[in-house]
Structure 1
């Protein structure tokens, strides 16, 4: 239920009457509610417009996940509709994309929202999640990458970025989901290391030299919060790499530079 609310809240439910209504639907961490409510100023204007339309339907009584995985937008001669992948559910009505602040009316509209720029989503990984910045800090952010610190492909990806650090500036978020408790333990030690630079090198190279000196009272919450992002970004494979304009891929592409350079 938490995963459902995170994905839905950031895409739609954040426009409901209040954060209190969301808390009535399920118990969420306070920082997660803050993350859901956080948005860029221009997003808030659009969210308010959607909120007004939803409020016409009255107070939110409850929320229930529907048994479907994918939705398709269909443009027909006499109108448009949204249909589930198995054809079981057909939704006839107005479709709004809160992240892009657009109403989807045509196939062209649907095509334009296939990618969601990271800045449109309304959260700041550098402030809210356990992360390291790898590459050239003088460059604009290249994107956000979610990584499991126990993953061999994570090491390949990060070493490639380090070897080409003059070309990239990635925010790398710790998401310990592949290696179980070992991944969580490693993520905690990397995030809580006193020597952050050595911890970053350990993450990149799969080493553990920074483990000997950890911050007392270091909170694991920024690491835990990253797990809630899996539904939001439809993460099924790590590393999950999101270019700043929203182009994304699960795993480390063999020709990474070619993938990154595509339009």
Structure 2
């Protein structure tokens, strides 16, 4: 039976391991901050899966690798050859995962079809040709609530159009008129708060939404790019199962 002295020894060993890890992290932080000033604001330092390599995380989900002394810096993907796993990509995907219920729904408008029981969030740029193709396929989907996040990332004109659409009296109608029927984007209302559009862009940067359309389903599954109606249906079904 373990004795109190044995437990104390275990406790001391774990404390020493912890202090060693803390000292290692501090040494890496200090070396990188001095030698690579643009990376001085490090969010996290932790051992990578490859022995002797350490992961440095900055800006939320930007990943670099270094040695135990911070003498070398690696930018790029770390692969595990067994199974050809991209460990860097897996880590970034985990860091940037978005729980559907935590989306900033106040900064979106909704389009409801049928009973609206199924849920889908979409980030789209009004000047995105792939988005217009996606919107045509989305028309074939019934019994869904679409949370539309205006996400103007293709240029200043995209921002102007997104603001005008956000300020429309009927956002959903104006959006579909523009995306599906090529009607002119409405003129911006004289008094309208367009900060939700700016917040969407910041949200997307934080969670690395790098293209449009980007789809988010209730199960947390993220799908970048335009997919057809059959694929949309499959993802909606999977999210409910």
Q: Fold conserved (TM > 0.5)? A: yes
Question: 185, 199, 215: which one pairs with 1:241?
Answer: 215
1:134 paired with 2:116, answer no
TM-score by length of 2: 0.56
Question: 134, 154, 157: which one pairs with 2:134?
Answer: 157
SS at match of 2:209: coil
Q: C-alpha offsets along residues 90-148 of structure 1, whole Å, 9 cap, x if unaligned?
A: 7xxxxxxxxxxxxxxxxxxx99x9454311xx4432x1x1x332342633452311110
**Structure with the greater relative contact order (CA < 8 A, sep ≥ 6): 1 or 2?**
1
Deviates more, 1:235-244 or 1:131-140: 131-140
TM-score by length of 1: 0.52
> CA 1:155/1:217 → structure 2, altered by over 3 Å: closer, same or farther?
same
Q: Which residue in 1 is equivalent to 2:198?
A: 224
The answer to whether the 8 Å contact 1:190/1:210 transfers is: yes
**Distance in 2 separating the partners of 1:245 and 1:232:** 20
1:88 paired with 2:63, answer no
Deviation at 1:209, TM superposition (A): 4.5
* Structure 2 stretches lacking a partner, 5+ long: 1-38, 57-62, 69-89
Give the number of equivalent residue pairs.
170
**Distance in 2 separating the partners of 1:221 and 1:134:** 21
Q: Which residue in 2 is equivalent to 1:190?
A: 165
Q: C-alpha offsets along residues 24-54 of structure 1, whole Å, 9 cap, x if unaligned?
A: xxxxxxxxxxxxxxxxxxxxxxxxxxxxxxx
Q: Which residue in 1 is equivalent to 2:121?
A: 144
Q: Which has the larger radius of gyration?
A: 2
The answer to whether the 8 Å contact 2:177/2:183 transfers is: yes
Deviation at 1:175, TM superposition (A): 0.7
Q: Which residue in 1 is equivalent to 2:78?
A: none
* Structure 1 stretches lacking a partner, 5+ long: 1-62, 91-109
Question: 207, 214, 224: which one pairs with 1:250?
Answer: 224
SS at match of 1:163: coil
Deviation at 1:232, TM superposition (A): 2.5
